[in-house]
Structure 1
Amino acid sequence: MDNDKAIRQAAAWIRDADGLLITAGAGMGVDSGLPDFRGKEGFWRAYPALRHYGFSFEDIANSAGFASNPRLSWGFYGHRLALYRATVPHAGFDLLLRWASTMKHGAFVFTSNVDGQFQKAGFDTERIVECHGTIHRLQCVEACTNETWPADDFTPTVNETTCLLENEMPTCPHCNGLARPNILMFGDWQWVEEHADRQGKRLATWLESVERLVVVEMGAGRALPTVRRFSERHGPRVIRINPRDYTIASAIGLGIPGTASDTLQLLEKSLVVARGPDA
């Protein structure tokens, strides 16, 4: 299917749908200016201080670091927390909200991103699944409790040269031990998943009510295929948007090569044409 035909078909699916399932990987945030961690060079461009340590993303985004070098681990996550708080979601988020507003059952989000951009863009917090957790909530490093809590009171100060946290590290209110982000990390046996589980149950209930589902997947790569696999379970009308990894079986959906922001705008143009000048 050529690109123009794919855009028209995807727009027709969106017009007909009574529920919009938005699935998103890291590529969704890249369009808002967030760093792309693909490969060591990409990661080191975002965090040049960690080149000195020789750390890859997998090395630093690892739960073991909170035991071996907590100030470095919190420097990395503290910098990301401050970055995500300052980031403005791109215009594609507003387009998705607009489309969902015309559907009987609105939208639900399933994302592997931990940045909180969907909440910041105005999506209902009760209709978002963060399958890998969120940087905006904290948990105990030792998982002494299944509770998590907002990170709102923590304002990190990070040394840009060393990537070390300079202010006090957050602590668990239950045991006074070290706290960490409520994110599923590499080699992580202590992630507290109750918050994500509750989100998932709400999504399952919503899906039961939708009769004509359309899935819009953006920026979900093959390296960690959680989002791609989730999308594919909810065909046959999956719209896969990705600059490189856009292929999908025709029985499940269609693929469109491109970035999230640019492709969503192309879809909006097609929807406007279909609605007509008086819509």
Structure 2
Amino acid sequence: MRDEYRRAAEVLHSADALLVCAGAGMGVDSGLPDFRGDEGFWRAYPPYARLGLRFVELADPDHFADDPELAWGFYGHRLALYRATLPHGGFDILRAWGETKPGGVAVFTSNVDGQFQRAGFADVAEVHGSIHHLQCLAHCGAGIWPADDVVVDVDTTTMRARPPLPSCPHCGGLARPNILMFGDGDWLGDRSQAQLDAYTAWLRAARSLAVVELGAGLAVPTVRRQAELASAAGGTLVRINPREPQVRHGRGVSLPVGALEALTALDALLNS
């Protein structure tokens, strides 16, 4: 794999701009679960294993109307977890690389945890929204607002939230996270669309682009597809993924390891 690291370092060294495409695997080295498969999800949340509830069943917007304590038990626990989690050192490495590039660095991610912003990245496109923002379940016109002051009391035995649940500041009704869930026809995408518009403008202006994709799986291929499309012209994709590292048609470099391990090794090469 030494040759692959050398090829990846050459791609990064010669680029004038850096695009980071990140899936759930990016947060694993920070201690965050990636919910890969039912068993992985249940290892992270044993109470749901006892209840026989799967991730795709919990990440269903209908629960906010039908059983809001169950819905906010799941998302309230995740909100607290993400707030308490510090981004691992790989985030700093990526940001430092971007600071050396004339075209800078941008992030395209399906993650809703806000870790890139916490690590100091300014240009982040969150294609699935953010747990750190809320919207009204009743669509009263309140739009999207920050969840900065929201604290959800969760019974970790039952994984149900205790009242009071987060509410809309405009109408007083129930609030929900501004996250695109499974089968979600009520998600307000305005905030994410504004980010995506800025990202698209940056991408069009970028020259000599290197794309680093981290922890993006095939189950929800949004991030992988974006990384492949963005790197198609120059074949400058560096795919970092310990489970699904394959690069189609040889258009890029594959590193079958975790994010922090790969970034640390590449940084050492670039600074040697």
TM-score (norm 1): 0.94
Q: Cα deviations across residues 40-89 of structure 1 (Å, max 9, x unaligned)?
A: 22111211222232110000011011111101110110000000000011
Checking the alignment, whether the CA contact within 8 Å between 1:220 and 1:242 is kept in structure 2 is: yes
1:158 maps onto 2:128 in alignment: no
Query: Identity over the aligned pairs, expressed in percent?
Result: 51
The whole-number CA distance in structure 2 between the counterparts of 1:167 and 1:213 is: 49
Structure 2 residue aligned with 1:254 = 253
Number of the residue aligned with 2:85: 87
Structure 2 residue runs without a partner (length 5+): none
**What is the SS of the residue equivalent to 1:180?**
strand
SS in 2 for 1:152: coil
Whole-Å Cα distance in 2 between the matches of residues 113 and 146 of structure 1? 24
Aligned residue type for 2:260 = S
- How far, CA to CA, are the matches of 2:38 and 2:248 in structure 1? 31
Alpha-carbon separation, structure 1, partners of 2:239 and 2:103: 21
Partner of 2:48: 50
3-state SS, counterpart of residue 135 of structure 1: strand
The answer on whether the counterparts of 1:240 and 1:246 sit within 8 Å (CA) in structure 2 is yes
* CA deviation after TM superposition for structure 1 residue 142, in Å: 2.9
Task: Give the match for residue 4 of structure 2.
Answer: 6
1:1-279 alignment, distance < 5 Å = 3-124=1-122, 127-145=123-141, 147-235=143-231, 236-250=235-249, 252-273=251-272
Q: Distance in 1 between matches of 2:237 and 2:37?
A: 28
String of CA shifts for 1:106-165, please: whole Å, max 9, x gaps: 1000000000000111111xx100001100000111333372000001011111101111
Flag as ranges the 4+ runs of structure 1 deviating above 4 A. none
Q: Distance in 1 between matches of 2:3 and 2:142?
A: 49
Partner of 1:276: none
**Does the C-alpha gap of structure 1 residues 103 and 59 become closer, same or farther in structure 2, counting only changes over 3 Å?**
same
Number of residues of Structure 1 aligned to a counterpart in Structure 2: 269
Which AA in structure 2 matches 1:65?
Answer: H
Once the two structures are superposed, what CA deviation does each residue of 1:236-264 show, in whole Å capped at 9, x if it has no partner?
A: 20100000111112453121110000000
Tell me the distance in 2 between the aligned counterparts of 1:222 and 1:5.
25
Q: Which amino acid aligns with 2:77?
A: H
8 Å CA contact 1:8–1:270 kept in 2: the answer is yes
Structure 2 distance, partners of 1:228, 1:99, is 21
Name the aligned partner's letter for residue 7 of structure 1.
Answer: Y
* Greater Cα offset, 35-44 or 187-196: 35-44
Instruction: Return the alpha-carbon distance in structure 2 between the equivalents of residues 167 and 84 of structure 1.
Output: 21
Task: Tell me if structure 2 keeps the 8 A contact 1:146–1:194.
Answer: no
Cα distance in 2 for partners of 1:69, 1:203 equals 36
* Distance of 2:96 and 2:151 partners within structure 1: 33
User: 1:49 is matched by which residue type in structure 2?
Assistant: P
The answer to whether the 8 Å contact 1:143/1:191 transfers is no
Cα distance in 2 for residues equivalent to 1:17 and 1:219: 22
Secondary structure of the structure 2 residue equivalent to 1:165: strand
Q: What RMSD in Å do the two structures reach over aligned CA positions?
A: 1.2
- C-alpha separation in 2, matches of 1:43 and 1:233: 30
Structure 1 unaligned blocks of 5 or more: 274-279
1:64 is aligned with what amino acid?
D
